[in-house]
Amino acid sequence: MTDRIGRIFERKYRVTRLLGEGGMGSVYEAEHVFLTRKIAIKVMNPEFMDNREAVVRFFQEAQAASAIGHPNIVEIFDVGREEDGTAFIVMELLRGKCLDRVIEESAPLPPGHAVAIALQVLSALQAAHAKGIVHRDMKPENIFLVIDDKGRENAKILDFGVAKILSQEKDAGLTQAGTVLGTPRYMSPEQARGEKNLDGRSDIWAVGVILYEMLSGQLPYSGDSYNEILGGILLKEPAPLNQIAPRTPPGLVAIVGKAMAKDLTRRYASTVEMIRDLMAFYDPAESSISSGSARALRGSLPPPAGKRHPGRRILAGFLLVPIGCIAALAAVDHYRPDLVNRIPYAGPVRAEVSSVWGAFQSRLVFHVDADRPIAIPIADAALIEADAGVAWYDAGLDMPDAGVAAQDCAIEKAVPAAEVTVELTGLPKGARVVVDQKEAQTPVRLLRSMEPVIIEVSAEGYEPFTKAVLPDQDRVLSVELEEKAPDKKAVRPKRKRHR
């Protein structure tokens, strides 16, 4: 694919050299023509341009990686599709080695080094699973090791092209029951059986296999054919790790065995469980991970039981000060209004306090005096907003009224419209519009989504027009159809000769 060297994508990304080639696309080093920033650009191979499923999976890789946003996942900057249909993804340029090369050159790795890599990978997978994304193709080739200026290591997960987004119930129609996706040597038994309803435990199996390979220099399941490998995964047990890698601590052998349990009920239920067990074997002297990875790893683990997260105390403190001041002013205003009237600018201040206080009076109340109730809000509480909704966490005070309706604590959010409109301009008379292989009318109305759709426009006498559009907001798409070149082979009528 060296013919792309020098090409400029989206009028701003100039390709400078080829970095590597894969089955679906090639990765190049490129430079932003205005910012002179070095980036990597992954370009889809031409033979897949007309394959809708391949195009959707290609853009899904960028969508999944960008949605997670984790220091151990390659960062995505941009996506696009050229007028000739060429799809591309712009991402950070990484300097280092893929884990498969490190294993080939240095395995077996010291246990501390292998654990450090596995911890970073699990931290990234924990963030992905929390977003409802399962990678499904974890392998050393998709783990890139970057060494920073201080010699610390940062593992980056690549290629979410076959990731499963659990929130999309039918997986956009891309996966059918019985379809086997992934790399055979790292497949979980449920993947090998072609099961459709996979979850994060399939990624945990793959991390167990990668750990086995890093510690021993051998794969637990191998063979001369695809079916032989899958048969071993389903029916056989691998060689005991402590026999082929006797230097491996027994506790670490047990962790790898649990991660690779064929029975899902015996396997780690979550990445958090596996991280907790692996932390006992992490030795910074053998491999120091980058500061960003260390922070992310700490964030992957919830605080120990019985201990409150320090952020909740800080937030509670910030809430307590202004609310306490308002409560004090309201109490003085209630019992000694004559004192408030003596304060300069008391009128506007009192009005503001009254309006704010009125809002709090509709919240939690307890009575200091049966005859003269004073509304006091619960101040020591932290609001934690999660993807699944809004949850309230008690930070230490007894709730005076357990019957407060849940809707009193709800936060109204602006809900985006469920439908977006794509206005097509420049259509010739009689043009036919097709969206994802279904005929459509203009303007095109689509369900709001982060998954690109393919819009095709055809008209008699013109070359067909194809464009991938992300239906995340209302858009105007300019359609520029090129006229077909006259057919040179057309038979011309013979002229009559006049005598």
Question: pLDDT tens digits, residue range 134-174?
Answer: 988 899 999 999 988 888 899 999 887 655 654 443 444 44
Our measurement of the distance from residue 329's CA atom to the centroid of its chain's CA atoms, rounded to an integer in Å, reads 47
Q: pLDDT: is 172 or 230 the higher one? A: 230
DSSP 100: H
Query: What end-to-end distance do the CA atoms of the chain give, in Å?
Result: 61
Max avg pLDDT among 232-246, 431-445, 446-460: 232-246
For range 193-203, the mean pLDDT: 89
Query: Which one of the listed residues 3, 50, 137, 338 is annotated catalytic?
Result: 137
Question: In terms of DSSP H, where are the helices of 154-200?
Answer: 189-192
pTM over 0.75: no
* Residue range(s) in the chain whose domain bears CATH number 3.30.200.20: 2-91
Q: Is 333 part of the annotated catalytic residue set?
A: no
pLDDT classification of 407: cutoffs 50, 70, 90: very low
The label of the residue with tokens 């498969």 reads: 100
Q: What is the DSSP letter of 73?
A: B
- Give residue 171's region: left, alpha or beta (phi > 0; psi -120 to 50): left
Tell me the pLDDT band of 456, cut-offs 50, 70 and 90: confident
pLDDT tens digits, 489-498: 555 555 555 5
How confident is the model over 276-315, as pLDDT tens digits?
A: 999 999 988 777 788 888 888 888 887 665 555 566 666 6
Q: Using CA atoms, how far apart are residues 130 and 120, in angstroms rounded to an integer? A: 16
In the prediction, which pLDDT does 438 show?
87
Does domain 97-300 match CATH 1.10.510.10?
Answer: yes
Q: What is the C-alpha to C-alpha distance for residues 188 and 262, in angstroms, rounded to an integer? A: 8
Amino acid at 33: V
- Here the tokens at position 389 are 């909704």
Nearest to 468 by CA among 54, 51, 46, 56: 56
User: How far is residue 422 CA from its own chain's centroid?
Assistant: 26
Q: What is the mean pLDDT of residues 472-483?
A: 84
Q: What is the DSSP letter of 26?
A: E
Task: Give whole-number Cα distances, 123 to 71, 203, 259, 279, in Å.
Answer: 9, 12, 15, 12
Per the listing, tokens 């309230």 go with 392
pLDDT band for position 406 (50/70/90)? very low
CB–CB of 2/43 below 8 Å?
Answer: no
Q: What is the pLDDT of residue 2?
A: 60
Alpha-carbon dihedral 245, 199, 123, 156, rounded to 10 degrees: 80
Written as one letter, the residue type at 280 is A
Mean pLDDT of the region 16-40: 89
Residue 68 CB-half CA count within 13 A: 31
Exposure pattern of 391-420 as b/e (b: 16+ CB <10 Å)?
eeeebeeeeeeeeeeeeeeeeeeeeeeeeb
Radius of gyration of the chain (CA): 30
Whether the pLDDT of residue 316 is over 80: the answer is: no
* Token pair in block for residue 113: 């080094």
Q: What share of the chain is helix, strand, coil (3-state, %, to 5)?
A: 35, 20, 45
Q: Quick one: fold of 2-91?
A: Phosphorylase Kinase; domain 1 (3.30.200)
Percent of the chain with pLDDT over 90: 35
| Among the listed residues 310, 241, 239, 249, the one whose alpha carbon sits nearest the alpha carbon of residue 280 | 249
* For residue 357, pLDDT beyond 70: no
**Residue pair 478/422 in contact by the 8 Å Cβ criterion:** no
- Mean pLDDT for the chain overall: 77
Cis peptide before 400 (omega within 30 of 0): no
Which residues 6+ apart lie within 8 Å of 36 measured at CB?
none
Token pair for residue 252? 């670490």
More confident residue, 116 or 366: 116
Instruction: Please tell me the distance from the alpha carbon of residue 401 to that of residue 37, in angstroms, as a whole number.
Output: 58
Q: Tell which residue, 95, 210, 67, 77, has the closest CA to residue 156.
A: 95
Asked if the bond preceding 108 is cis, omega within 30° of 0, the reply is yes
State residue 189's pLDDT score. 95
Look up residue 172 and give its DSSP letter: G
Residues 6+ apart with CB under 8 A from 163: 60, 61, 64, 128, 133, 134, 135, 136, 137
Instruction: Give the separation between CA 15 and CA 121, rounded to whole angstroms.
Output: 30
| Region 302-330 average pLDDT | 64
CB 428 within 8 A of CB 482: no
Q: Residue 15: is its pLDDT beyond 80?
A: yes
User: CB neighbours of 247 closer than 8 A, spacing ≥ 6?
Assistant: 108, 111
Query: CATH 1.10.510.10 spans which residues of the chain?
Result: 97-300
Which of 208-212, 220-224, 389-393, 469-473 has the lowest average pLDDT? 389-393
In tens, the pLDDT along 244-279 reads: 999 999 999 999 999 999 999 999 999 999 999 999
